[in-house]
Amino acid sequence: MAYVSIESDDRMEEGPEGLQFQSFLGTDARAASTQAGGASSFEPAGAPRKPSGFWTIEYYQPYFDVDTKTVLRRCYSTLLPTSRNYLSTHLTPSADLYGPFWTLTTLIFSLFVFSSLASSIAAYLSDPEASSPTDPIEYDFGLLSIAFGLVYSYGLGVPILLWLGLRYLGVGEWSIIEAVAVWGYGQFVWIPVAVLCVIPISLVRWILCGIAFLLSGFFLVANVYPVLASADKKAVRLLIIVLVALHAGIALCFKVLFFSYYIKQIGPKDPIDPPIPGNPTEGLAARFFAL
């Protein structure tokens, strides 16, 4: 029997320790897989994320993570007398900014659209021969700018300034998000009122605006006054008078600037109220004196 000697392969002598692995990923893929952790460190899937700064989008993302059912419930709850504990009852587990933003934005367009519709209805009823129901509605975009400034200034500016003032006075019972949420949701009642104010009867419009003022005013006082009462200085509670005055002013502005269109006459001999000037944005002072 003959034996044949075979030269050993150097690679086989290396054994398992000589094995090498080569990555077939591109350079970009390898770089993306190792960023923020190095080549040999990985972040666990359940690890808590680092808090983002207030100047980043990630910081505000949780305040917009809310479903439609919750937003609607928080809206109509402001119309109930039992909403005096709104912060603890309806804004739990956390307040949101999604609902207040869309409530105020919807109110802006409601004031603009239905004010224009009320103007067209009043013009037609004042002189049916000069106009027709099929005539296109004329929109005064100056009213849109006025509504934008009024609603956002009151719905966003007032709660932010109030929160800053209370923080300066050492009152920290609520956060700025809760302050904006209370004010934003509190203006929800003006949306259906804006729709109903197309009714061409001045007394009905005044009643509707009065109801909206009382409901939203009660809601704000019931939820803001406990925060003011928690201050060490009792004089802080007097701020509620300023807030009520501002609320009354915004209610009067809504009625006078957007729904002060009067019918000139129903019949040839039945005058009712003098008409408002043709351009709604002109002669605003005349509207206040023509009430």
Tens digit of each residue's pLDDT (9 = 90 or more) over 117-159: 888 888 777 766 655 556 666 667 888 999 999 999 999 999 9
CB 77 within 8 A of CB 86: yes
Tens digit of pLDDT for each residue in 38-96? 433 333 444 445 555 556 666 667 778 888 898 899 898 898 877 677 877 888 777 88
How far apart CA 140 and CA 159 sit, in angstroms, is 29
Residue 62 tokens read as 């949780």
Q: Which of 209, 191, 205, 216 is nearest to 79 (CA)?
A: 216
- What pLDDT does 148 receive? 94
Q: Which residue has the tokens 């359940």?
A: 46
Q: Which residue has the tokens 């005058």?
A: 271
Q: pTM of the full predicted structure? A: 0.70
- Domain parsing of the chain, residue ranges: 96-289
- What pLDDT does 108 receive? 95
Tens digit of pLDDT for each residue in 88-120? 788 877 788 899 999 999 999 999 999 988 888
CB 257 within 8 A of CB 108: no
Query: How much is the average pLDDT of 220-239?
Result: 87
Q: Which residues make beta-bridge pairs with 265?
A: 271
- What pLDDT does 36 receive? 40
Dihedral-angle region of residue 17 (phi above 0 means left; psi in -120 to 50 means alpha; beta otherwise): alpha
